[in-house]
Structure 1
Amino acid sequence: MTVPLGGVSLADHAAVYAALERAGFTDLWSSEVAGADAFTPLTLAATWQPRMRLGTAVVPVYTRGPGLLAMSAAALAEVAPNRFALGIGASSPVVVGDWNAVPYDEPFRRTRDVLRFLRAALAGETVDGAFDTFAVRRFALERPPAAPPPVMLAALRPGMLRLAGAEADGVILNWLAAGDVPRALAEVGERRAGFDVVARIFVCPTEDAAHARALGRRLITSYLTVPAYAAFHRWLGRGDALAPMWKAWADGDRRGALAAVPDEVVDALVLHGSPEQVREQVRRYADAGVDVPVLALLPTPELSAAGPEALAALIARLGPTGQEH
């Protein structure tokens, strides 16, 4: 599950994490956009749920210096040995440039360089030298983790997917349908032992299809108008289906862009239906080659009108066992 969950204070997540563990969820993965940072929710989870696997999906490679990113990862790996995975990615010009005042230059090479730096630094090596996009002078972790965490790479298109397959410990996929997974994995190439495929999957477990599709359209127009995601979906073959949305968005017609997203695109990218139906749709990602399907839970009318007991019941129905508690 993607954490923290919306609508629940981070300080109150001990009960959320416990409900997820009871329901059979094995992993908690954080993101980092404009809510909580990636490490704080997982640090809490490391102490509250000492058996669950933890991961970042993802930490941008620009918004922390290479040394600070290595220190943050090493600290969490020390708190949660052998159960933390560091996921990094290029993020976007909005997050990096507009919100964090860092130039968004050469995202592929920057991501590759940070990946190489982290693999060396987390292994306890002294890193001294120039990469293509930055230079480091004699950096060494004071507390290198006894068990270096795997470093995973968020990837969309062929170049980054191939880099993940060649140099990372796993790949993190996002904003794709179950049917798109084989095409992405074909670019990753032959998977080494221990190489994990993670996919974030947006789920809106409600039978109110109008609500789910309206929410899905808002998300799609927010994300898939970003150039990298637009190029990704052209590569996946959705260029014709999404062309009217992109045109309306470019023309400044936000309402028209929302209306132009076809139902079939929304239904492929934002899973909805009863919790049991959603769970079956998630299994299609696993059947397609995803090792770790990570749900991103979206608000539903049922949750907004109820209290924490309703959230716990929903988590139980979404979990691998699919049982009421």
Structure 2
Amino acid sequence: MSEALLSQEVGAVQAAPASGARQFWRRLRGQRAAAVAAAVVVLLVLLALCAPLLTALEGQDPNVYHPDLIDSARGGVPIGSLGGISGDHWLGIEPQTGRDLFARLAYGARVSLSVAFAATLVQVLLGVAFGVAAGLGSKLVDNILSRVTDVVVALPVMVLSLALLAIVPDTFPRPVLVALIIGLVSWGGTAKIVRAQTLSLKSLDYVAAARLSGWGKWRIARRELLPSLAAPVVTYAALLFPSNISSEAALSFLGVGVKPPTPSWGQMLTSADVWYQAAPQYLLLPAGMLFLTVFSLTVLADGVRTALDPRAASRLRIGTGRKRAKKGGAA
């Protein structure tokens, strides 16, 4: 995708002043789908943050085995209906191990959300740094940084992540490693968008006035450009977050991501692929949580984009006004 297309995608999203924060929240609340998605995301975050409290309330630990609750004669299938659901095990237990599914889902949410957040943070920091430096730098600096960005964008992310994760010793904290690798190999798109926006903003009058007043490049970037880049960067970061959750789940599913006994939704899917007939809830629960999280974050990201884009908000108001006018005429 060319830089012109990337710029066109987010070019209209300019940062609102501090007084516009209230308008942003009003626009976001006005979108029912985004409001519902935000509520779901808040619940998922609370599940992750309160995982120790919730599992203590249930009285279970995510890594404790319960061999007495599985039927060894049938290959380790949970004893009881619906995968062993009971007052002690709210969502049942894992086949073969007997570990509590609710506890592992709750702690898996902590891993998936924290890894995705850290990876997104790395992508945004590197992308903004490279994009602003390329947009404000000389022609030589711009060419060098743009070629480096092109190489990063062209890299096969999943293949490179698999290779790096396979050679790093297991002693390194796996969630931290997964977050770093996803962030370090996926910041190119952010850098391209920020560079295109920086080149567009650099020609505006207030930036030219700051340059004529004797301000240095980095002061201009800090005082004039970064506030205007906040809206497109936040929009793009909101779209990156669900993608990073999927990447972490895919790496864990392939066996090179988060390692046992640390619970992860992708890791649970790896263990559940042979149990979809004997114990379908073992597969459906982590898959459903993953789908719900990615879908909610995607809908919320689209709502954030619309709320930050004045033109989209204007079109929304015009369309709403036309609908109300038609209803009034029909009445």
Q: TM > 0.5 between the two?
A: no
TM range (shorter): under 0.3
- State TM-score, norm by structure 2: 0.23
Larger CA Rg, structure 1 vs 2? 2
Q: Which has the higher helix share?
A: 2
Q: Which has the higher strand share?
A: 1
- State TM-score, norm by structure 1: 0.23
